[in-house]
């Protein structure tokens, strides 16, 4: 996906979110560290344009909720910054690529440690398949079937890259 395709996918996801909610009053967007943070910020801006009022956005770190902590020497911990109360909110979790579902499971565990949302919805830029857990995204920018020897790498200007792209690479 190039920059235009990424923007088009986020705009489509924003309209799908808006169509599924009567208003944006209780909606908040949370980007999963690190791949979903910039996408969440962009999605919140799109939703703000649609609803005409600011949509709260935050960042959620899942590193201490992962099920592979015992396999990592030192987990990479990113900040969690949620400038709103999650209780009673419709939370749109945002990540770059949905693969096995383990990241999303960890994100839901981390989110529930912070409160009890009314609803949790999942938005991903790309779904590559190969699920290990029964998790499905509510909003998908693009389905990109991959082999297990391939991966998807997201490059965004906000992260220091010269252009936006979602690229297929061999592992």
What pTM did the predictor assign? 0.94
What is the CB-side half-sphere exposure of residue 137 using CA atoms within 13 A?
27
Confidence band for 69, pLDDT divided at 50, 70 and 90: low
Checking if the pLDDT of 71 tops 90, the result is no
Domain range enclosing 34: 3-170
> Which CATH number belongs to the domain containing residue 85 in this structure?
3.40.50.2020
Mean pLDDT of all residues in the chain?
Answer: 94
Task: Give me the sign of the Cα torsion angle 110, 114, 119, 122.
Answer: negative
Candidates 151, 143, 101; CA nearest to 122 is 101
State yes or no: pLDDT of 115 exceeds 90: yes
**pLDDT tens column, 121-167:** 999 999 999 999 999 999 999 999 999 999 999 999 999 999 999 99
> Phi/psi at 79 (nearest 5 deg)?
-70, 145
- Stretch 15-36: mean pLDDT, rounded? 95
Return the HEC string of the chain.
CEHHHHHHHHHHHHHHHHHHCCCCCCEEEEEECCCCHHHHHHHHHHHHHHHCCCCCEEEECCHHHCCCHHHCCCCCCCCCECCCCCCCCEEEEEEEEECCCHHHHHHHHHHHHHCCCCEEEEEEEEECCCCCCCCCCCEEEEECCCCCCEEEEEECHHHCCCCCEEEEEEC
Burial of 111 (0-12, 13-18, 19+ CB in 10 A): buried
73: pLDDT strictly greater than 70: no
Pairing of strands 150-155, 139-143: unpaired
pLDDT at residue 22 in the model: 83
pLDDT value for 60: 98
Pick from 38, 144, 42: which is nearest to 99 by CA?
144
For residue 72, name the pLDDT band (cuts at 50, 70, 90): low
Task: Supply the pLDDT for residue 66.
Answer: 74
Give the chain's domain count.
1
Confidence category of residue 76, pLDDT binned at 50, 70, 90: confident
Higher pLDDT, 81 or 77: 81
């Amino acid at each position: 996906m190039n920059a235009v395709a990424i923007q088009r996918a986020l705009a489509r996801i924003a309209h799908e979110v808006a169509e599924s909610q009567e208003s944006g009053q209780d909606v908040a967007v949370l980007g999963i560290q690190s791949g979903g943070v910039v996408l969440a910020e962009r999605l919140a801006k799109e939703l703000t344009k649609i609803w005409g009022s600011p949509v709260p956005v935050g960042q959620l770190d899942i590193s201490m909720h992962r099920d592979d902590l015992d396999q990592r020497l030192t987990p990479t911990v990113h900040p969690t910054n949620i400038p709103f109360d999650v209780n009673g909110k419709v939370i749109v979790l945002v990540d770059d690529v949905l693969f096995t579902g383990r990241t999303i499971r960890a994100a839901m565990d981390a989110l529930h440690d912070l409160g009890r949302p009314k609803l949790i919805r999942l938005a991903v830029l790309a779904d590559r398949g190969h699920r290990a857990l029964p998790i499905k995204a509510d909003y998908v920018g693009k389905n990109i079937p991959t082999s297990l020897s391939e991966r998807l790498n997201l490059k965004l200007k906000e992260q220091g890259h010269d252009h936006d792209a979602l690229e297929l690479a061999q592992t």
